[in-house]
Structure 1
Amino acid sequence: MIFGEKLKAERNKKGWTQDELAEKLFVSRQSVSKWENGLNYPSIEIIIRISDLFGLTIDELLRSDEELTKQVIKEGKQLAHPRLKFIFDVLFLVGVVLLMVKLGVLILNKIASLDITLLGGKLLWNLGPLILMIIAGIGSSMLKEQYKQD
């Protein structure tokens, strides 16, 4: 039995309408309808709620539909390394901010005939942003490759 059929059968056993089930899951009736008709699948969080509501194991729900199983696995892979992705994103943004600060100071020095010097020396301001952005890019790329392999 595929997931949609199982969901509908369990809902009918409880005597619930699609609206009532949707309320219990904090989703729209249209979402429940799409799940039951096999047009869409719920997220893993919703699957857990469905499991709790109907007293079924997650295994019973997932193994009922191969496509749903694939989707849950895919979602799990996307969440596999969120902290690392966040760190690489922050590194990239720090590099961009440093580059923007340097460009802003250069433009101000030219336009306003100021002589603002950046603390830390030329090496930090010339190579720092580039190094940070390269490290972030390489790290993100490696993470993406690992995601593809998983």
Structure 2
Amino acid sequence: MSPSADAPSSSSAAEALSFTTGQIVQEFGYDDDVDLDLRDAIEDLIGADLEDEDSQEIVDGVILWWRDGDGDLTDAMVDTLATLAPGAPVWVLVPKAGRDGHVLPAEIQESAGTAGLRVMSTVSLAADWTGTRLASRS
């Protein structure tokens, strides 16, 4: 069975995040509902494990799993910036519309602006998650 346009394969979804071999990627918001196939595909793509949110490494990108009810999104976005290399992306991964925990795009946009980030693009990732790429304003 081929993947539908609504649910890209995990490897193509990981590639859509534009990470490359050798990069260090930090993960925030891990919980039992994350897409493990997507995580594995990202790790395969970069050739390493994802760094956890306590890591002090300077990182080439961040994935932030976020659901409605997780707390203050702006604060979480600011936390992702602590060890982020200049120009590196922050990907906010939220449940798709209609799924438990969905976050409205307007909330992501507003939180990003307050955190000093801007929304660059949004992509469909896996069956249940949407990713929004954020970049620093500088």
TM-score range, shorter chain: under 0.3
Query: Which structure is larger by alpha-carbon Rg, 1 or 2?
Result: 1
Higher relative contact order (CA 8 A, sep 6+): 2
Instruction: Give me the TM-score of the superposition, normalised by structure 2.
Output: 0.25
Structure in which a larger fraction of residues adopt helix = 1
Instruction: Give me the TM-score of the superposition, normalised by structure 1.
Output: 0.24
Structure in which a larger fraction of residues adopt strand = 2
